[in-house]
Structure 1
Amino acid sequence: MDSHEVRRQWADRSGEYSPEYYAYYGPDETSETIRAIFEAHLDRDARVLELGCSSGRHLAHLYDHGFENLAGIEINAEAFETMDDAYPDLAAEGTFYCDAIEDVLTEFPDDRFDAIFSVETLQHIHPDADWVFAELARITSSLLVTVENEGDEGDDADVNYVHDDFPLYYRDWHRVFTELGFEQVDAQAGDRDTIRVFRAPDAPTGH
């Protein structure tokens, strides 16, 4: 499976793990954790981008708590129809890009966003598109948060096919982003995902 096929699968996704699926469950503990991280490091007018925002449940939680300069990238066009119904205020006020992450990031200028976050999205980037991570470093001026499945300790597999369907690529996100000059300032291991908080080079240490 190449990177084009991976993107096609997510663009056409319905049922389990689709935008409607996540909208049904709404904001969750991960949403609350991301909000707490941003409240500790950012002002409410920070420019925030979510990668793979789906129908917007995490962004909606941020919006409801005073973060209004919000943007998202999502490849599945149906996500935005679901967002209009589930989170109409976010849909009206946010800036959204219906496209593949790989096709959007190169269009942004350096330091375009104060903070970027990803919830179980970067783990689906095909190895052919590893260059995306340097682009994320380039456009992030302050904070980068990853909430990703990094595999079990000692797991030699680089990829796992979920339900024999779509691929999940395991990476050491600490290594990926510290090698790009970021400093890891926090890490929390959960049952499935690891939350990592990275500070960009020369970023302020408080707000």
Structure 2
Amino acid sequence: MKKSLKEIHEYWKKNSYPETYRVATDRSIFLLNYIQNYIQGNQRILEIGCNVGRNLYHLFDNDYRQLTGIEISQEAVEQLYKNYPQLAENTDIIHAPAESVLKHMAKDHYDLVFTMAVLEHIHPDSEWLFDHIARVTKSYLITLEAEKYENWRIFPRNYREIFENLGFEQVEESTGESVKLSNYTLRIFKKRNPDTISKNL
């Protein structure tokens, strides 16, 4: 049964499972190994849908300091402050739906934007969000998403097709099989030509 955008938002506000998410550290290490190949510690990084902050913590613990996270769940944000106080003190954590935040962010503000199992939950009514992700990304974009699986809260998409149409070139592709994410595809994009990004923004 199809759900509305509001219903999807309400679900994730109440069902972020931060304690379960926090213990899957192998996934953060998997992601970190890729990020270190492209981004230095003094560059700006944004995670969309940071949950309890596990990925950001691994970046912070490896000397990345210009970090921002967006998270819709109040419970997840509270657990972030509880479990990673030093990260919280030194990171810009924005508690809000991505739809209400990204459209107000400056163009080319982040050297890297990344998502892990978040874009797959973006409701079809919010697909305009991809234009803003492209707009705020200065250099690199990483997506680790389920692209083929589908249910009432997972919407399958080909992110290579989406972001190459928004001015990016895919430079690397892998699967998450090694961290028990066999249905997930990791894609790394480099911004190619800002002039190809939607003129409607």
TM-score by length of 2: 0.89
The answer as to 2:190 corresponding to 1:193 is no
The residue type paired with residue 171 of structure 2 is V
Q: How far does the alpha carbon of each residue in 1:137-157 deviate from its partner, in whole angstroms, 9 at most, with x for none?
A: 0000011000000126xxxxx
**What per-residue deviation string (whole Å, max 9, x for no partner) do you get for residues 156-200 of structure 1?**
xxx313xxxxx1000001101001110000000231211000001
Q: Is the 8 A contact 1:49 1:71 kept in 2?
A: yes
1:34 Cα deviation from its structure 2 partner = 2.0
- Contact 2:168–2:193 (Cα < 8 Å) also in 1: no
- Is the CA contact (8 Å cut-off) linking 1:80 and 1:91 kept in structure 2? no
Distance 1:120 1:132 in 2: 15
Alignment of 1:178 with 2:164, yes or no, is yes
Question: TM-score, normalization: structure 1?
Answer: 0.86
Structure 1 segments of 4 or more deviating over 6 A?
none
CA RMSD, aligned part only?
Answer: 1.4
Give the unaligned 5+ runs of structure 1: 153-158, 162-166
Distance in structure 1 (CA, Å) of the matches to 2:45 and 2:25:
17
Instruction: Find the counterpart in structure 1 of residue 20 from structure 2.
Output: 21
Matching residue of 2:198:
none
Q: How does 1:10-159 map to 2 (within 5 A)?
A: 10-13=12-15, 17-23=16-22, 25-28=23-26, 30-151=27-148, 159=150
- CA distance in 1: counterparts of 2:52 and 2:17, whole angstroms: 9
Shift of 1:202: 5.1
Separation of aligned partners in 2, 1:202 and 1:41: 18
How many residue pairs get matched? Answer: 187
Q: Percent identity?
A: 34
How far has the Cα of 1:20 moved from its partner?
Answer: 2.3
- Code of the aligned partner of 1:27: T
Q: Which digits, 9 at most, give the CA deviation of each residue in 1:33-76, with x for residues without a partner?
A: 32122211112111001111001001100110111111100000
Question: Deviation per CA, 1:100-122, whole angstroms, max 9, x where unpaired?
Answer: 00000011010111101000000
Following the alignment from structure 1 to structure 2, what is the Cα–Cα distance between the partners of residues 26 and 34?
12
Code of the residue aligned with 1:45 in structure 2: it is N
Equivalent AA in structure 2 for residue 18 of structure 1: Y
The AA in structure 1 aligned to 2:98 is I
Counterpart residue identity of residue 19, structure 1: P
